[in-house]
Amino acid sequence: MNMKLKPTLSLISVVLATALVGCGKKEEAAPAPAAAPASAPVAAAPVPAAPEPAIIFDMGGKFDKSFNQAAYDGMELWKKETGKTYLEFEIANESQREQAIRRMAERGASPIIGIGFGQAESIEKVAKDFPNLQFAIIDMVVNQPNVQSVVFKEQEGSFLVGAMAALASKSGKVGFVGGMDIPLIRKFQCGYEQGAKFAKPKTQVFANMTGTTGAAWNDPARGGELAKAQFSKGADVVFAAAGGTGMGVYQAAKDGKKLAIGVDSNQNHIQPGTMLTSMLKRVDVAVYNVAKGHTPGVSVLGLKEGGVDYAMDDNNAKLVTEDMKAKVEAAKADIISGKIKVADYMADNACKY
């Protein structure tokens, strides 16, 4: 959200068997109990241990500084608060998704959390085969009675950073670099455009997608090229909604003395002084909530629910004036109250605002 050569099925099995361990915990065979004397009282049957949750990170890895890492942070918070362990696996290619989820189910893990829309089909298949286990999918809806689906109103957070981009721009031109060209990323783009034009109606917005396959999430070189092309046309702020590809956008902004906007996690620290803000998509909150208490059905997280927002910290404090912040906060309040309606590309299959 590293494309590698597809391993053979046997290699996948070896990798999975080695990797599916819970946070460094080793499993050892218990010694056979000694025979009890005939006069010994019968011991009560042991209470089965509660199942461990499991998380399947998608391509890009759990330390992608973006979507996957936010999920990792949420799981780590759950671990810290509960003192419990969890199972995990990082997908190296698409063929591993279903097998990894199925192996977790065979081990009795529950809930099993799939990170990213790309895992929806696999979650649906395995959830049907293991109806007594709990599953969750982040960023897509799977209609199964034992699945919790968590989706976000990305358009609302993108609206806010779009407004901030327009307010910060000196040229009146801003840019957007998306990852894989899918409706979800168009949703980010549409909200960003609407927010920019809300703040300054004459703002010009340039937009490019990185590609049409999963490789688009992990191509920083291409991200840098697209950002440079937008800078050459006059853009002075670029928002990257492209996973690891965004690293190239942020580097290009730093090199060109322009501004960039991060996505999913707070990425303001990556290039301090270059990052105007980050559009927060609280995948960490979603994962933490699922691990803490699985609830079948669909959960939708927007500004009102604390599911999306924009980031402010010491790294971007000097880039955002009090007037800019006040205007963005006013827009945020109006979105929450319903006064401002933000277009949802996925609902209309078009950007209508």
pLDDT of residue 49: 64
Q: Can you read off the two tokens belonging to residue 297?
A: 């059905």
Q: Are residues 343 and 217 in the same domain?
A: yes
pLDDT-wise least confident of 46-60, 119-133, 138-152, 300-314: 46-60
Per-residue confidence band for 12, with pLDDT thresholds at 50, 70 and 90: very low
Per-residue confidence band for 223, with pLDDT thresholds at 50, 70 and 90: very high
For residue 87, pLDDT beyond 90: yes
Rounded to an integer, the average pLDDT of 103-126 is: 96
Burial of 8 (0-12, 13-18, 19+ CB in 10 A): exposed
Q: Are residues 128 and 147 in the same domain?
A: yes
Instruction: Mark which of 127, 152, 177 sits at the end of a domain.
Output: 152
Q: Are residues 248 and 176 in the same domain?
A: yes
Q: How many CB atoms lie within 10 A of CB 296?
A: 14
| 299 within some domain | no
Q: What pTM value is reported for the model? A: 0.81
Instruction: Mark which of 152, 177, 205 sits at the end of a domain.
Output: 152
Q: Return the CATH number at 245.
A: 3.40.50.2300
**What is the percent of the chain with per-residue pLDDT over 70, rounded to a whole number?**
86
Per-residue confidence band for 61, with pLDDT thresholds at 50, 70 and 90: confident
**Dihedrals φ, ψ of 33, to 5°?**
-70, 145
Q: Are residues 81 and 207 in the same domain?
A: no
Pairing of strands 297-301, 112-115: unpaired
**What is the percent of the chain with per-residue pLDDT over 90, rounded to a whole number?**
79
Dump pLDDT digits (tens) for 237-252. Answer: 999 999 889 999 999 9
Q: Are residues 19 and 130 in the same domain?
A: yes
Pairing of strands 135-138, 275-281: unpaired
Rounded to an integer, the average pLDDT of 56-74 is: 89
Instruction: Mark which of 106, 130, 152 sits at the end of a domain.
Output: 152
Q: Are residues 121 and 111 in the same domain?
A: yes
| 17 within some domain | yes
Q: Are residues 236 and 103 in the same domain?
A: no
Q: Are residues 140 and 54 in the same domain?
A: yes
Show the beta-strand stretches assigned E in 181-232: 204-211
pLDDT of residue 25: 43
Q: Are residues 112 and 78 in the same domain?
A: yes
User: What is the residue-averaged pLDDT of the chain?
Assistant: 88
- Domain total in the chain: 2
| 307 within some domain | no
For residue 207, pLDDT beyond 60: yes
| 40 within some domain | no
| 206 within some domain | yes
Rounded to an integer, the average pLDDT of 155-182 is: 98
pLDDT of residue 41: 43
Judge whether 50 and 22 are in contact, CB under 8 Å: no
SS3 22: coil
Per-residue confidence band for 66, with pLDDT thresholds at 50, 70 and 90: confident
Q: Are residues 269 and 333 in the same domain?
A: yes
Q: Are residues 90 and 193 in the same domain?
A: no
The number of C-alpha atoms within 13 Å of 269 and in the hemisphere containing its C-beta is 5
Distance CA 210, CA 217 (A): 8
| 288 within some domain | no
Q: Are residues 202 and 96 in the same domain?
A: no
| 296 within some domain | no
250: left (phi over 0), alpha (psi -120 to 50) or beta: alpha
Per-residue confidence band for 329, with pLDDT thresholds at 50, 70 and 90: very high
| 141 within some domain | yes
pLDDT-wise least confident of 64-73, 139-148, 303-312, 335-344: 64-73
Judge whether 113 and 124 are in contact, CB under 8 Å: no
For residue 24, pLDDT beyond 60: no
What range does the domain containing 122 cover?
A: 9-24+50-152
For residue 46, pLDDT beyond 80: no
